[in-house]
Structure 1
């Protein structure tokens, strides 16, 4: 049997202890440094109701909390608005009153505050972090004034994410796509499905499809209508109607898609009206909160072929082609904006809310900025648009109808 060497065993123990000591001496500062670098604390956040009643589902709770004024929010909370409510989420740095970012939450929106943290130690080089999850609806993000510490502001959407680097950025999630619009500053759009990124600058927009494709950069202006170019026929997005009014007329007009034209054209035609009133047109529900937009214009190409009534009729309400945009103002009152087109006024009727154009010639129309000219009754929520011919006998055409919000 081999005899043990006590001296060797002692040296082994001593060397092992020294190795452990060296490991601790080296690792401890590294671990402490890592803790100082990455330790975080929660940022204070608050949900403020701007109109209606906001719903807040607090983390680990089962019941929604109705907010009519303001309520503290924390990581994991969910904010939800309905068709009549809007809210503001404010995230502060730590427990201070310094605003890191504001998030306007518009109607019919569901938004989660996934993360809101800042470094626990001033020596850390890590940024303030805010992460939101937008399930559906529309928000606008505005980072606060820059600090010595960077801000990482991310929004996760169904098929990717958006990093807001500065400025003012709007995001909208619908069933088939997410849209990102940069009013000022810069944003980085990243797809989950593809190794694809896109940087957006001021005045640019991108569409992130449900399949993960990024389309853009596009102009910031967005057409709120479905199938405004009639490429999908008259049944997609539009309703065809006739309104005989109250003078006992029986002859309907016709709304016909001329799909042999490029681009497609819709023609309104009525003959044999016996000098009674009829309105033939298209209607599309919009149902859109537009309080976040600073500009709203109506565009379309129109052509007048025939009108039996002079001007817009005696009451300036029966033009051979016209449109009516029906909306609610900020107080919820129902309003409308209408405009008509005519080529002759032999009876010299007074004309209001209409303009004379050449017969048989396509006219590219663009309205003034409705947000600018309508003042206190400017649109807050769009109900629907009608594009129609009105009068006794008429024949007119329209193509490429747009309601462009920016």
Structure 2
């Protein structure tokens, strides 16, 4: 009986001691590893995105002008040949963006992991794993309040985005990883290669990493190196130096405001004005860049329209809340321009056309792009060398680039401005 009593007493002590250790230990593990789904939303920029859910759930069609807020792990986003879209991953609180994914035509992206620690005391990072089976994406990592493990996987290998922006193009026989800014680590079957800005790596069917290889270079200097001076864009200006310009139609009316800002780790430039008559507010750059030997020239930009009071882009199509004007000389020495406008409010009518009218602007005529009000929108021009050659005005030298807001009252932000040239 005494031995049984001692056995019970010792077992009870061992159970008590075990529980005293295991309960706090398991509680600590739970606090460290518990997670919630990362807030993820999808938007169609052009055409219609198809969102395929789990078994038994109906696919979701995402159309332009609407943001679908309930994207979760396991979802497959499909863009057909006429579609482009955007995935945005955010912290739960405060609502800061963790990463954005630009989805190009003929692309399929599966969200394999999108997790955020449930408790603030957890040292674990947020985790976003994407699988691109085919097509092209551009992944940008933003700096939030917590570390982020951001990985893009493909049939041939994977890349971890350590900072900045990574472009990924997947074809049947290979994957190309191109760093547009920051650092990424590319991993194949047997090797790892770290890439910096404007470097590229390729992984083929054998899983071998080739690189670093050359990539197209950004022809534009950093817009955020320091304070921007104010200059006359038609006057003598040093090349490759950004400057601010203003135009006010009626004397005495207020000029606009240009300010360098940051939003959720994203460096941006804000253009804003409140007035009653026409004005322009923006920045410009003298390029003097010969492009006759270039095979590709592509402009990339992210923008957010906060406010505008002129429907669409005005009665002649020149008052968009954001406009891009690339001036150049063609092969015959004639002055030309490529103009692209963006708007968020209004409907296209004969009184508010969807492009700049011929009596005001020379060809080629690009349709203005409608973007969601108050949402970041990513724009890629496509290959301007091919576009302008098809329009009968192939460029020989780029002379000036202007990014500006036009209208009466407006507020817009833009960032990620790049002009990528490949020779």
Q: What secondary structure is seen at the aligned counterpart in 2 of 1:337?
A: helix
1:87 to 85, 88, 95: 85
The answer to whether structure 1 residue 22 and structure 2 residue 17 are counterparts is yes
Given the superposition, is the C-alpha separation of residues 9 and 339 from structure 1 closer, same or farther in structure 2, using an over 3 Å criterion? closer
Contact kept? 2:46, 2:83, Cα under 8 Å: yes
Following superposition, the deviation at residue 210 of structure 1 comes to 1.8
> Where in structure 2 are the equivalents of 1:5-404 lying within 5 Å?
6-61=1-56, 63-68=58-63, 69-72=66-69, 73-94=71-92, 96-144=94-142, 146-191=143-188, 193-194=189-190, 196-221=191-216, 335-337=387-389, 368=397
Following superposition, the deviation at residue 45 of structure 1 comes to 0.8
Given the superposition, is the C-alpha separation of residues 374 and 17 from structure 1 closer, same or farther in structure 2, using an over 3 Å criterion? closer
Following superposition, the deviation at residue 290 of structure 1 comes to 6.0
Q: What secondary structure is seen at the aligned counterpart in 2 of 1:149?
A: coil
In structure 2, C-alpha distance between the alignment counterparts of 1:26 and 1:353, rounded to whole Å: 75
Q: Deviations over 1:184-209 (max 9, x none)?
A: 10001111x32x10100111110011
Stretches of structure 1 lacking an aligned partner (at least 5 in a row): 1-5, 223-285, 295-311, 313-326, 341-351, 355-366, 376-402
Q: Deviations over 1:5-62 (max 9, x none)?
A: x111110111111111111111111111111100000111111111111111123346
Could you tell me which residue of structure 2 aligns to residue 298 of structure 1? none
Q: What secondary structure is seen at the aligned counterpart in 1 of 2:21?
A: helix
Q: What secondary structure is seen at the aligned counterpart in 1 of 2:27?
A: helix
C-alpha RMSD of the superposition: 3.7
In structure 1, C-alpha distance between the alignment counterparts of 2:160 and 2:365, rounded to whole Å: 33
Could you tell me which residue of structure 2 aligns to residue 346 of structure 1? none
Following superposition, the deviation at residue 135 of structure 1 comes to 0.6
Q: What secondary structure is seen at the aligned counterpart in 1 of 2:139?
A: strand
In structure 1, C-alpha distance between the alignment counterparts of 2:394 and 2:421, rounded to whole Å: 20
Given the superposition, is the C-alpha separation of residues 217 and 46 from structure 1 closer, same or farther in structure 2, using an over 3 Å criterion? same
Q: What secondary structure is seen at the aligned counterpart in 2 of 1:27?
A: helix
Contact kept? 2:388, 2:394, Cα under 8 Å: no
Given the superposition, is the C-alpha separation of residues 35 and 210 from structure 1 closer, same or farther in structure 2, using an over 3 Å criterion? same
Q: What secondary structure is seen at the aligned counterpart in 2 of 1:134?
A: strand
Structure label with greater radius of gyration = 1
Deviates more, 1:89-98 or 1:18-27: 89-98
Given the superposition, is the C-alpha separation of residues 290 and 353 from structure 1 closer, same or farther in structure 2, using an over 3 Å criterion? closer
Stretches of structure 2 lacking an aligned partner (at least 5 in a row): 218-294, 303-331, 333-363, 369-381, 404-419
In structure 2, C-alpha distance between the alignment counterparts of 1:86 and 1:339, rounded to whole Å: 24
Following superposition, the deviation at residue 106 of structure 1 comes to 0.7
Q: What secondary structure is seen at the aligned counterpart in 2 of 1:169?
A: strand
In structure 1, C-alpha distance between the alignment counterparts of 2:299 and 2:68, rounded to whole Å: 23
Following superposition, the deviation at residue 373 of structure 1 comes to 8.0
Q: How many residues align?
A: 254
Contact kept? 1:43, 1:95, Cα under 8 Å: no
Could you tell me which residue of structure 2 aligns to residue 276 of structure 1? none
- TM-score norm. by structure 1 comes to 0.55
Could you tell me which residue of structure 2 aligns to residue 226 of structure 1? none
Following superposition, the deviation at residue 132 of structure 1 comes to 0.6
In structure 1, C-alpha distance between the alignment counterparts of 2:179 and 2:35, rounded to whole Å: 30
Given the superposition, is the C-alpha separation of residues 374 and 206 from structure 1 closer, same or farther in structure 2, using an over 3 Å criterion? farther
Q: Deviations over 1:56-90 (max 9, x none)?
A: 11233464322113212111111111111110101
Could you tell me which residue of structure 2 aligns to residue 392 of structure 1? none
Given the superposition, is the C-alpha separation of residues 138 and 289 from structure 1 closer, same or farther in structure 2, using an over 3 Å criterion? farther
Given the superposition, is the C-alpha separation of residues 7 and 59 from structure 1 closer, same or farther in structure 2, using an over 3 Å criterion? same
Could you tell me which residue of structure 1 aligns to residue 351 of structure 2? none
